[in-house]
Each structure stands twice: as structure tokens, then as C-alpha cells.
Chains A and B, each alone.
Chain A
Amino acid sequence: MTDQHDPAAEDAAETLAAQERSGDTPSDAPAKPKRARRARPAAPAAPVEVSAVVPAENHVGEVAATPGVAVPSEATPAAMAEVAVEIPIETAAPLPETPAAAADHVAALRAETAAAVQELEVEIRNHTAGPDETRTMAAEVLRLIRENLERLRPPALDNVVAALRQNVLNSDYLDPDFWRGIGMVLQYQVTELTALVQRRLRGEFAIDSYGMDAELIELVRPFAGFLYRSWWRVTAEGLDGVPGDGPALLLANHSGVLPWDSAMIATAVLEEHPSARLVRTLHVPWLAMVPGAAPALAAFGQVQALPENAARLLDEGQLVCVFPEGAQGAGKLFWNRYRLTGFEAGEYIRLALRVGAPIIPVAVVGAEEIYPMIANARPIAQLLNLPYFPLTPLFPWLGLLGMVPLPSKWSIVFDAPIDTGAYGADAADNPDVIARINDQVRLRIQELLDEYTAERRSVFFGR
């Protein structure tokens, strides 16, 4: 990863350069109205924004009058509007000369915009008027936007801030203009996304040597975050045991038909670990034969579960996650839930011993209930060349809808790491030591699973 340039930053630099060269490129057009508005904050300059601007004036007083809004006491409504339009312009006006300066500049602009959006989010959350649900939803949408800002380029950044300031700040959530503003912001994101897809179709994206595509991971990160925080409300424990750098081996129980558990372990480490590490999950090699699966898995940093691959990843100091149960674990029937089957990690434990990488047992609780598998339709599985074909209360009876996982409450427990260095240098060649560590990890994961399933009172609400 280190030897690759940052495509996003370079793109941003290119856009800036393009803006500088020609005054009326399409990318520059949305920036113009705001310049006009700086002189006369409320003047509707762009036809699209007319309806959005007029109600903004009407509601300004309301916001300032509402108690509990996080607005500095000296800020009058007029000053706020001034601030609102000034943020993007002040930063966008001095166009940098060199690409490096452009990258810095874009990063600064991004950080500033993110701060502005977060401020808005806090404001909305503290807002007391209006129904609670709409407010939470609006705040969540803002959060999604903030997380997507990473991908936006300067002209779109300006517009996001302007649109948010104009419409969201003067928040009457029942006002159609509020939603129109949100729609506009989303529309910019779609435009950005289209540009991204077009660029990717020209092959202009960077992969690492295993085929991992950092840009694509950033793209799905908000969605994974949504599943992590809102859908499964995952609580991750013991993340401080995961080393901030250097090799480590995660051994986890597998469950839940589709590998959502691997996605959530990766999200937990990416979002909640202080050094935001990327987890390299190993997948069964036959998945590479499924059309569409192979490029997708590789793009998300997954590698085939072969000892050679694990050895190379650990040598490179990466965080490797293995599900020793394999497909057998993911496809277990509902009444066998939380019972480890065929937990054989000997080969990977040997590699960890050789490198001296700590081994971290991981227990995932909650993933067994996302698709309660009542039966395995073996003939269909054989016909489709799959390891199992699940029959759940919803799948395949409801078709694609049946593939929506149930929103159970999850806990991911990262147990205390096993220090492999303590076993000595030649432990890697000792099958006895390896078998002992394998049993230790298996029993510990089973213990954690039993403990956490016994403690929880409801599958969907947890403790």
C-alpha cells in the first residue's frame, strides 16, 4: 500500500487545476452563485435554489429563538448566514499552484466541511422542537453525508455546505424544502459517484498486490458502519488487545450463512481500533470459482485460505483473520448454533508461532440468528455447486427480501492475545504445542459464546 499514490488526492488536484484554467467548466458553475450571495446573503442567485433560499429567510428567526440550540450567543441570524456561505469561499478562493499544495488544501477543506457538518448534526440533535424521530433521522442522514465527504471533490464540497446551511440549519423538518435540500446533497453525491464509476471503468484505480482496492473499501465503509452501528448495534470488547501494528492472527467462530461476521469483525477493527487497521480475512479457495465473488472478495482485501498466503501476510506484518470452521461453521443449522464444529487451525497457528504473531481468539455472538437456517437443501446445493443451500423462515420463500439479515444484537469479543513468543523458537515444529494452542483457542471461544448467550435476555435487544 505504501508505494501507491493516493488517487483521490490527485483527482482533487486535477479538478482544481481544471477550475483554474477555464472559468466556465461545468464543475465551476455551481461555485459561482455563492460568490454573488456573499455580498447579499439572501439573494436567490441560482434558479435551482430559489425555493430553497426563500423559506430559509423565513425560518432564521425561529432557530435563533429556540432554546438549547448550540449557537454562539453573539451570533445573529444574519451573521450565521454570512458564516454559512463564507466557509467554502474563503477556503476555495486561493487556488494552490502545486499538486502537493492542492492535496493539502483539499484535505483542509474537507476537514473544515466535516467539522461544519458535524456541528450541524449536533445542532439538530440538540434541537427540541419537532418530533424526535425525524430529528434523529435527519441527524443520521447528516452523519452519512459527513462520512461520505471523504470522497467529495471541492466544487461538490462547497455545494454540500451551502445546501446544508441554507436548508438544514433553518430546520423545519416538515417543510418540503428541508428534504429538497437533503435531496440536493444526495444528488451531488450521485454525480460524484457517477464520475467515480466512469473513472474506474477506465481502469484508473489502484490495487495492492493482493488485489485490494482501498477506494472501494472507503466506498462501502458508510454502509458497513450503518450495519455495524444501527442494524446489528455491535458492541466490540477487548479491541485494545489487538496490536496497533505488526502481525497478529485472529481466530473466530464462523456463523450466519453469509460471511457478515467477517465483515463486522473487519468493521470493528477499522472503526473502533485506534490505529484503524485493515483486517485480511482468509476465505475458502473454492469461492474463487464463483463468478463475481472472486473480484469482489479480492477488492475487499480477502485472500484465499492457503498457508502460503497466510505466511506471506504475516511476514508483511498484517492482521489476518481466519475462520477455522470454514463453510461447515457458517452453514450450521439453527439448533446447532453456538456449537463450534471442526475447529482446526493448526496450520495457521504454526505460521503464527514461526513469526511470533500473537493469536487472538474472537467470539461473535448474534450472527447465528441473522438467517436462522432450518434445513439445508442438499440437492439444490449440489446442483448449484455450493457447500449448502439454506432454508430459513424467510429464504427462499420471500426471494431477495429473504436475504435481508435479521437485526439481531451482536457482541464481538476479542479475547486476550496468546503470546506465541513465550513458546520458544522451535515451537512451530512441535505438533504437540500447536494442538495444545488449538484446543486452548477452541475452548476459550466456546466458553465466551456460552457466557454471552447465557447472559443476553433477548436475541434482538441483548442484555
Chain B
Amino acid sequence: MTTALVTGIDGALAGLVAGVLATRPHMRVIGVGRAAPECALADVDVRVCDMRGDTLLALMRVVPVDVVAHLDIAGEEWPVSREAAGRGNVYRTIEVLGACQAAGVPRVVLRSSLMVYGARPDRPAFVAESAPLSSGEPAGLLQDYVEIERVAADFGARHSSMRLTILRCAGIAGGQIGSPLARFLVRRPAPMIAGFDPRIQVVHAYDAAVAIALAVLNDRVDGPLNIAADPPLLLSQAIHFAGGSVLPLPALAFSAAPWFEPLSTLVGELPFPVDYLRYACVGDTRRAVRELQWEMQHSPEETLRELAA
């Protein structure tokens, strides 16, 4: 009997992961979150709590947990203003990791983003997991992921008894689950930089949930893994498939936007720094396919057409 703890159970992706895990035999799934999920989850033991480190530790002391999937990331599924988010995601991850270490949990699965490598002109066409992370200044949610990765690397180095698996997921789309990238792709118009059309990757929410569940079930894999649907699409194609429309703007418009009201409404909130509209940040997914036996079920085009529907 294995016990898995899924945090952020009030989110749709965590709900999917818990649902997939609960179908496995000899598997007990506990979901914790600050609110109960909207729809009831069969065979999932849902606990509503304040999600603080000591609360989780108290819970894990009572029920021994074998593996934790930390999916409580604010700003992914519904937009959070930058002030409200603060560094909450990073602090919560530190608290969860600390609680797991104190409770002697051997394995933790973390969620991260494929964009942590940063978009640069000298990035390989397919970035492997061993590549260095972005050292630029990513903002918002992406900044959180980069810091979570640093915290996790540091934590893993100091606590060698604990195995950390980090799933770097491409922009999640489809399955009625929101993500910053999905919200951008359906925009009318979605701004692009004239003269650039980078390749981007997306992944269907169901495929991402299966990948996370596989990582929870597989106790031989650790370290970072890229999760994305192949092949990558061009950004313009992705926007068209998702039902948005493309508005190419000169690069100058993006730098002038903060000072010029009509431009800033046109450019709007981007899910990533402007460089991602210029250069590709595409991950090499061969490790996930080889070691997790993960197989995508939804092609990128299918996934994006689902957004348009």
C-alpha cells in the first residue's frame, strides 16, 4: 500500500492527478488544499487546511506518506495579480519540502515550467534537462518557477536521502484548464514581434496529469524532466489554432508599452518576458518518454483546437 499526498487539490490539474492515481490498485491518495475541489473526487481523501508547513507536518506524522506531489502553484489556473501572489509559491514550496524532510518522506514530485531555460538566440533547437536555467530576469510566475528550481536543487544537494523529481511542463492547454499561455493564445489580438515567429510547445492537461502521475508512481526516476507535446508549432500557428488572431507589432512597441496607454492595452499582460516572442525555448522530451514511459495522447494541434472550441 502506497500513500500519495497531492497538494493544491482545489486546482483542476491536481484534481486530475489525484483522480489518475486513485485508479491504481494499492494506492491511497490524500488531497490537501485551502478549499475543497469543485467536484467530488472518487477514492481521494480530501483534507482542507491552511497549507502551512507545520499543519502538513502534523498531518504526515499521523498518516505516513510515501510520496508527495506538490502542485499548489498560484497563478497557473486562474490569474493572480502580481502583488497578491508575492513570493507565495516559493515560500510554500520551501515549507512543503521542509515538512517532507521532517516527516521522512522519501520522494517529492514538483511542478515547474519548460520556460525556465530562458529564450535566447543561442539556445539549442531542443534544450536538454542538463542545460543551465535562465539567468535573465523572468517576471511573475516564471520567476517563481526559476526560484523553486534553485531551492529544490539546493535542498536536494543537502538532503541526499530525499529524491526530487521536477516536471518541467510546457504551457498547459485543453481540458478546460486555464494557464497563462492558454489565456494568451486565445487573445484577439495576440501581439507578436514582427519578423519573429518562434516555435513553442504546449501540452494537453490530461497528458500533463498522466506525466505527473507516472512520476509519482515511478520510484526509479528523479531529477528534472521536460514534458511537452511533439512536434513544436510556430507561435503564429498556435495562435490561429487556438482561435486567437495575430497582431505583429514592431519590437519598439513592446519596450514603449509601459509609457504609452494605447500600446499597453494592445500588448497587455504577457505570460512570459518579451524575449519568448522572439526566440524559441523548446525542450527535449526524449528523457520523459524513455524513462517515464510517458506517451502523449493529444497532438499540439488537437490540444489548441480544443481551446478554440
Residues of chain A touching chain B, judged by Cβ–Cβ distance below 8 Å, are 3, 202-205, 207-211, 285-286, 288-295, 298, 303-304, 306, 308-309, 312
Min distance, Cβ A295 to any Cβ of chain B, angstroms:
4
Chain B window 185-199, contacts with chain A (Cβ cutoff 8 Å), 1 for yes, 0 for no: 000000001111111
C-alpha spacing A209/B194, complex, angstroms? 22
A-B contacts at CB below 8 angstroms, number: 71
Min distance, Cβ B39 to any Cβ of chain A, angstroms:
34
Question: Would you list the 6 A-B pairs with minimal beta carbon distance, nearest first?
Answer: A291-B195, A203-B240, A308-B124, A209-B231, A203-B237, A288-B121
C-alpha spacing A308/B283, complex, angstroms? 12
| Chain B interface category by residue count | 20 to 34
Which among A208, A286, A291, A293 is the interface contact of B251 at CB below 8 angstroms?
A291
Q: Is the CB of A306 within 8 A of B196?
A: no
Which partner residue on chain B sits nearest A315 by CB separation?
B286
Min distance, Cβ B280 to any Cβ of chain A, angstroms:
8
Most buried by B among A3, A286, A312: A312
**A209: B residues at CB distance < 8 A:** 125-126, 230-232
Min distance, Cβ A160 to any Cβ of chain B, angstroms:
31
**A285: B residues at CB distance < 8 A:** 121-122
30 contacts between A and B (CB under 8 A): A203-B236, A203-B238, A203-B239, A207-B199, A207-B231, A207-B233, A209-B125, A209-B126, A209-B232, A211-B232, A211-B234, A285-B121, A289-B121, A291-B193, A291-B196, A291-B251, A293-B195, A294-B198, A294-B278, A295-B195, A295-B234, A298-B199, A304-B121, A304-B125, A306-B122, A306-B124, A308-B125, A308-B126, A308-B128, A312-B124
C-alpha spacing A312/B233, complex, angstroms? 19
Q: Is the CB of A203 within 8 A of B241?
A: yes
**A295: B residues at CB distance < 8 A:** 195-197, 234
Most buried by A among B124, B126, B195, B230: B124
Min distance, Cβ B166 to any Cβ of chain A, angstroms:
21
Q: Is the CB of A202 within 8 A of B240?
A: yes
Interface residue? B155 (CB, 8 A): no
Which partner residue on chain B sits nearest A307 by CB separation?
B124
**A289: B residues at CB distance < 8 A:** 121, 278
Min distance, Cβ B188 to any Cβ of chain A, angstroms:
14
Which partner residue on chain A sits nearest B127 by CB separation?
A308
Which among B231, B236, B240, B278 is the interface contact of A208 at CB below 8 angstroms?
B231
Q: Is the CB of B125 within 8 A of A309?
A: yes
**A288: B residues at CB distance < 8 A:** 121, 279
